[in-house]
Structure 1
Amino acid sequence: DEAHIASSRSLEFRERFLTATDGRGMDVILNALSGEFVDASLDLLPRGGRFIEMGRTDIRDPGTIAADHEGVEYRAFDLIEAGAERIGGWLAEVVGLLEGGVLEPLPVASWDVRRAREAFRHVSQARHVGKVVLTVPRVLDAGGTVLVTGGTGTLGGLVARHLVSVHGVRHLVLASRRGSAAEGVAELVVELEKSGAVVTVAACDAADRDQLAATLAAIPAEHPLTAVIHVAGVSDDGALDTLTAEQVERVLRPKVDAAVNLDELTAGADLAAFVLYSSASGVVGTPGQGNYAAANAFLDGLAERRRARGLAGQSLAWGLWEQESTLTAHLGDSDRARMERTGVRALTSEEGLGLFDAALATDEALLVPLHLDLGTLRTRAASDGELPPLFRGLVRAAGRRTVAGEADTSGAEALRRRLDAAGEPERRRLIVELVRQQAAAVLALPEAAQVEIERPFREAGFDSLTGVELRNKLGAATGVRLSPTAVFDHPTPAALTEHLLEHLAPDGGAQAVPRLLTELNRLEQTLKSLDVDATAHTEVTLRLRTLLSQWDTKAAPAADDSAEDLRSATDEELFGFLDDELETP
């Protein structure tokens, strides 16, 4: 079948060219095809001519070609036969044409040699235009200069020491807004210089293009810029719908604006590394850090964009580091405990620097260095199922097994049953205890009793992040969909309890009736829009009759004949009743 298809295509190929030339065919053919296409190409020389075989997969015998195709001169061409001198002359002429603008060079796509398999697959599928080049990864040159933004901070200092002690870097520019006035800089410089490095501390706001350009221009030509490590950044957390323009600008400026300036001002430099310190918040998502997540997601995209342009670029979406920095100085023990409960543990300096080295040795634009506690993730998935999508494939949560015929009374369903069976005082006590227990867990308090029901959440130590965590925990425990700012909209445990009770146990069921009618109206619209087969129609009808029977049993007023009529109604009569009685106001 494949041979037949190839033969048909070759005949079509020949006929199209002969038609386009009024049957005259060609005078010269440069061939790189094989099989049936070679024969079809030879038929395009009906008046004789030259057939130059450029390929190596299907070389023919010149004598046979001359006998079968009168006037055709066949030659298999091998470039090397021209000799080095002649080939050099051709290349010199081509270079001259390129320099004169007569010819334009073909586009070049570069692939790291560590991705050679992908590069060859790309070529084999004919997806490339121009040249595909394999490049050898560069190491940090001891004679070059490495720029570290945020270089006077905690993480910047760790990176600087590591570059000197492990990578042999001898020329560093540590840039930060405070420069030499930053705390601990003098000691850092002395330490680095004792290790043999020449260190320049620059008071430079990388988000200011002119300041950054001046800092780069000051790098001596004999020690050109060979790497950029962008560590600078700040955080200013807040729930998404409470963020102000100032908070967004404060976070994006040192991350995004500085990264754009670094990208544009170093585009012409031959860099061995362009590393952006990003955050896992942009990949996994962290409650209360919408602005910070957006800034870091931009860095991740910028690294990809640089790679697409053939430039060095790598974004490291770090998790929390154990060593305190300006970004994490505000975190207390409860904050760190909260993060560990998510299944992400803090990285030690040794772990972080080891991951930095591993990243430099990996040809990936985006990496996420995290210390994951799979046991905690597994427990978390089993308890409330709320795992970031990125983590769901890492662990498998065992579902709770139930005995045949036994209902699963765990979680929100069990709570609702307890509330239905309880009186008003008991309902309030249950919800108050739930709120206090979950608040104590978020704040890492040993006892729920330490959470005072009339004390505002903010005074107790809640911020945007912990407020969202409490909201998530209460939502999972109750099944109530709370707003991200629910903890601060209802600022005390007592107020939040009343808010939950409004959803979970309305007084005497009076408040439930409007909500029930609303749901029935929605059901009515759904039923009207459905176009189902007979099987599905029967299933829905049986379910509706079951619900109606349960409602009749629950109803306190004396039954009248209509109830019996409904129980004996046909399908058409039942749906007619829904149309008549549940009209949307």
Structure 2
Amino acid sequence: ADPGRQRVGELLGEHPDVAGVLSLLALDERPHPEHPGLSTGLVLNVKLMQAVGEWEEPVTVWLCTQDSVSAARADRVSHAAQSSSWGLGLVFGLEYPQWWGGLVDLPEALGARDIDRLAGVLGAGDHEDQVAIRDGGVLLRRLRRKPLAHESGQPFRTSGTALITGGTGGLAAHTARWLATCGVEHFVLTSRSGTKAEGAREIAEELEALGARVTIAACDVCDYDALARLVEQVEADGPPIRTVVHTAGVGVLGSLADVDLAEFEAEASAKLVGTAHLDRLFDRAGLDAFVLYSSVAAVWGAGEHASYSTGNAYLDSVTRSRRARGLAGTTIAWGLWSADDGGMADKVEADSLNWRGLRFMNPRTAVAGLRQALADDEEFLAVAEVDWDLFVPVFTAARPRPLLHDIPEVRAVLDADDGDDTGEDDSLRERLRPLPVEDRRIALRDLVRTHAATVLGHPSPDAIEDARPLRDLGFD
């Protein structure tokens, strides 16, 4: 076992009456000595959550960061690196809802009123799990709808060179085709494989047919020196880079409990390290667009996507930091692009997502969202196709999720559920209340086995083995 993870478990064992854990670990932004692509605080938070997940008694976990997320218009986000712990926390909150408290971002200058507000948040018990404390007040995180417009503002125009990372993938191809209509003269498409990447030649030929020059370069965005040399060479040979789009990223399924830190670092580095390198290289005026491709996994979380959510959560904070410096910056959190069109969901089973209300986007919808984000100079926009009637009951099954409460379709689903109370929950409580604790567990186990057997078509609950995970029993 990892010694850090083991030590946290020992501490919990030494204090069995602990009801909550407040983690300030994220504030340690130093590169981890064994995993330099990750901050020390992030690694320690992973170990903390793994240890808590093994703890038999529920203990409420809160993660704190400091000036790491964009909560108020005046925020400069001086500690963007800490925001990756927000992505980690969102996943923990889905995989271990019974242990989840929430996320709190503290101000850069902490006063006595802020401490009082923090104590109030921790003791509120109102399920608000994403908050920021500013000027002695508490701000609550909410997702709000922005209508998708056919024509919005002045059309985005650019010129010169566009640098696109992950440039030979499906997302990059759709992006480049549209940018070719916006005035880009030269495309530099980077990937680790360069011209050897599948489909690279076809993308180049397509863009050249649209009138642009194309350079496909083998360059790892996580290698700063190689990336800097490429940028210097490109700008010495042709028009300056005026548009940057960072699409590179890796999404690998795996539960938080089973996270291997070396694999976690490799999977998250394209977003964490790559984004930091691009921000450093293009810490300058003169760009028409600096676009970071994120994911809704970093907006509302995604079970079994700890490294992906962690890496993408960093992007919005980098964008806010750039805006505060007077620089171009836009983050787009994408839903699922169709696998048939080279999207991010090429390893995801459609049926597994459909019953949860997540739909594959037509690339035309995605490009329309990109066009609107740049035309309106948006700082952050989430673009996804969601069936809220299906998504909301699954997403809120274990606990309320206030993040979505301002979306009209979500509110309608929640209100309908409140109005359809059949009293079954109360009836179950009445049946369980007089029973000893162990008999309650037996009764609940039998109830779950009976319902599971019915759903799976078994003639008897005896076919449902207690110790087998639901997925192994036949549930998707």
One fold, TM greater than 0.5? yes
Match of 2:403 in 1: 390
Among 183, 196, 199, which residue is 1:184 paired with? 199
Task: Provide the C-alpha distance between the structure 1 equivalents of 2:196 and 2:460, rounded to a whole number of angstroms.
Answer: 43
Letter in 2 for 1:333: A
Task: Give the secondary-structure state (helix, strand or coil) at the position aligned to 2:347.
Answer: coil
Task: Name the residue aligned to 1:315.
Answer: 331
* Corresponding letter in the other structure for 2:309: A
1:245 to 261, 278, 281: 261
Decide which of 346, 366, 372 is 1:329's aligned counterpart.
Answer: 346
CA distance in 2, matches of 1:427, 1:277: 44
* Residue correspondence of structure 1 range 406-485 to structure 2 within 5 A: 409-411=423-425, 413-414=427-428, 417=431, 430-436=447-453, 453-454=464-465
Give yes or no for the alignment of 1:289 onto 2:300.
no
Q: Report whether the alignment pairs 1:257 with 2:291.
A: no
Helix, strand or coil at the partner of 2:215: strand
Shift of the alpha carbon at 1:412? 7.2
CA drift at 1:338: 3.9
Residue 284 of structure 2 corresponds to: 268
1:188-199 to structure 2, matched below 5 A, reads 188-199=203-214
The CA distance in 1 between the partners of 2:389 and 2:179, in whole Å, is: 34
1:169 Cα deviation from its structure 2 partner = 1.9
Q: 1:188 to 1:386 in 2, by over 3 A?
A: same
Q: Could you tell me which runs of 5 or more consecutive residues in structure 1 were left unpaired when the two chains were aligned.
A: 1-108, 110-135, 441-446, 467-585
Q: CA offsets per residue over residues 318-356 of structure 1, 9 Å max, x none?
A: 11112354742221133222442xxx4322111000001
* CA positional deviation for 1:291: 2.2
Q: How far did 1:416 drift?
A: 6.8
Q: Once the 2 structures are TM-superposed, how far is the Cα of residue 175 of structure 1 from its aligned partner?
A: 0.3
CA distance in 2, matches of 1:449, 1:224: 70
Report if aligned partners of 2:338, 2:345 keep a CA contact under 8 Å in 1: no
Report what 2:383 is aligned to.
369
| CA deviation map 1:402-454 (0-9, x unaligned) | 9xxxx95324753773898999999765431323467x6xxxxxx57799635
Aligned-pair identity in percent equals 33
**Corresponding residue number in structure 2 for 1:100:** none
The question of whether the paired residues in 2 share the 8 Å contact of 1:240 and 1:288 is answered with yes
Q: What CA distance in whole angstroms lies between the structure 2 residues aligned with 1:253 and 1:425? A: 45
AA at the equivalent of 2:375: A
Kindly state the Cα deviation for residue 162 of structure 1 after the two structures are TM-superposed: 1.7
Contiguous gaps of at least 5 residues in structure 2: 1-73, 75-152
Question: Alignment partner of 1:303: what SS?
Answer: helix
Matched, 1:205 2:220: yes
What is the identity, as a one-letter code, of the residue corresponding to 2:451?
Answer: L
Aligned partner of 1:228 in structure 2 is 244
Do the aligned partners of 1:140 and 1:227 also contact (CA within 8 Å) in 2? no
Over 3 Å counting, the alpha-carbon distance change for 1:435 and 1:213 in structure 2 is: same
SS at match of 1:202: strand
Paired residue type of 1:434: H
Q: Secondary structure at the match of 1:218?
A: helix
How far off its partner does 1:204 sit?
0.5
Conserved 8 A contact 1:172-1:200: yes
CA gap 1:352/1:326 in 2 versus in 1, 3 angstroms: closer
Larger % of strand: which?
Answer: 2
Tell me how large the CA RMSD over aligned residues is. 3.6
CA distance in structure 2 between the aligned counterparts of 1:354 and 1:184, rounded to whole angstroms? 24
- 1:195 is displaced (CA, Å) by 1.5
SS in structure 2 at match of 1:158: helix
- Cα shift readout 1:133-181 (whole Å, capped 9, x = no counterpart): xxx9994433x000000010111111112211x3232210000011111
What residue number does 2:318 align with? Answer: 302
Give the SS at the match of 1:398: helix
Instruction: Encode CA deviations 1:82-140: one digit per residue, 9 max, x unaligned.
Output: xxxxxxxxxxxxxxxxxxxxxxxxxxx9xxxxxxxxxxxxxxxxxxxxxxxxxx99944
Larger RCO (CA under 8 A, 6+ residues apart): 2
Which residue among 348, 357, 373 is the counterpart of 1:359? 373
Question: 1:145 matched to which residue of 2?
Answer: 161
Q: In structure 2, how many angstroms separate the alpha carbons of the residues matched to 1:392 and 1:155?
A: 30
Secondary structure of the structure 2 residue equivalent to 1:216: helix
Taking structure 1 as the reference length, the TM-score comes to: 0.48
Distance (whole Å) between structure 2 residues aligned to residue 361 and residue 314 of structure 1: 11
Q: Could you tell me which amino acid in structure 1 is paired with residue 234 of structure 2?
A: I
1:474-498: CA deviation from partner (whole Å, max 9, x where unpaired): xxxxxxxxxxxxxxxxxxxxxxxxx
Structure-2 separation of matches of 1:179 and 1:257: 19
1:310 alignment partner, SS class: coil
